[in-house]
Chain A
Amino acid sequence: MSARGATVARTIATLDIPPRPRWQWKSWCAVGLVVIITAITLSPRWGVDFSLEAIARNWQNGAEKILQLLVPDWSFFPRTVPALLETLQMAVIATAVAAVVSLPLSLATARLTNPNGYSRSLVRALLNVIRSIPDLLYAAILVAMVGVGALPGIIALVLFNVGIIVKMVSESIEANDPGALEAGRAAGGNQVQINRASALPDIMPSFINQTLYVLELNVRASSVLGLVGAGGLGLLIDAVRTFYRYDQLSLIILEILIIVMALDVLSNAVRRRLV
Chain B
Amino acid sequence: MVVEHTSPTGAASPWSVSMRDVTVRYASGVVALKNVSLDIRPGEMVSVVGLSGSGKSSLIRTINGLVPITSGSLRVGGYHLESARAGELRRLRGEIGMIFQGFNLAKRTSVLNNVLVGRLAHTTTLRTLLGAYRASDREIAFEALDRVGILSKVWDRASSLSGGQQQRVAIARALCQEPRLVLADEPVASLDPPTAHEVMDDLRRINQDLGITVITNLHLIDLARSYGTRIIGLRAGEVVFDGPVESASDSVFAKIYG
Which positions in A face B, CB cutoff 8 Å?
177, 179-180, 182-190, 192-194, 196-199, 201-202, 204-205
Contact = CB atoms under 8 A, between A and B. Distances in A.
Contacts of A190: 90, 120, 125
Classify chain B: how many residues form its interface, as a range: 35 or more
B100 interface: yes
Given A186-B66, A201-B109, A179 B117 contact: no
A197 B104 contact: no
Interface of B: 64, 66, 90-98, 100, 102-109, 113, 116-118, 120-121, 123, 125, 128-129, 131, 170, 173, 177, 183
A188 B91 contact: yes
Contact of B104 (A180, A188, A205): A180
A180 B103 CA distance: 8
The 5 residue pairs across chains A and B that have the minimum distance between CB atoms: A188-B121, A188-B94, A189-B120, A179-B104, A201-B109
B100 A198 contact: no
A183 B90 contact: no
Contacts of A188: 90-95, 120-121, 177
Contacts of B128: 189, 192-193, 196-197
Nearest to B129: A196
Contacts of A183: 98, 100, 104-105, 117, 170, 173
15 contacts: A180-B106, A183-B104, A183-B105, A183-B117, A186-B183, A187-B117, A188-B91, A188-B92, A189-B120, A190-B90, A193-B125, A198-B106, A198-B117, A202-B108, A205-B108
Contacts of A196: 128-129, 131
Contacts of A182: 66, 100, 104
Contact of A192 (B66, B121, B129): B129
Contacts of B173: 183, 187
B98 A189 contact: no
Contacts of A180: 104-107
Contacts of B100: 179, 182-183
Given A188-B90, A189-B121, A196-B129, 15 more contacts: A180-B105, A182-B100, A184-B117, A186-B96, A187-B94, A187-B118, A188-B91, A188-B95, A189-B90, A192-B128, A193-B123, A196-B128, A198-B117, A199-B106, A201-B113
Contacts of B91: 188
Nearest to A204: B108
B125 A179 contact: no
Contacts of B96: 186
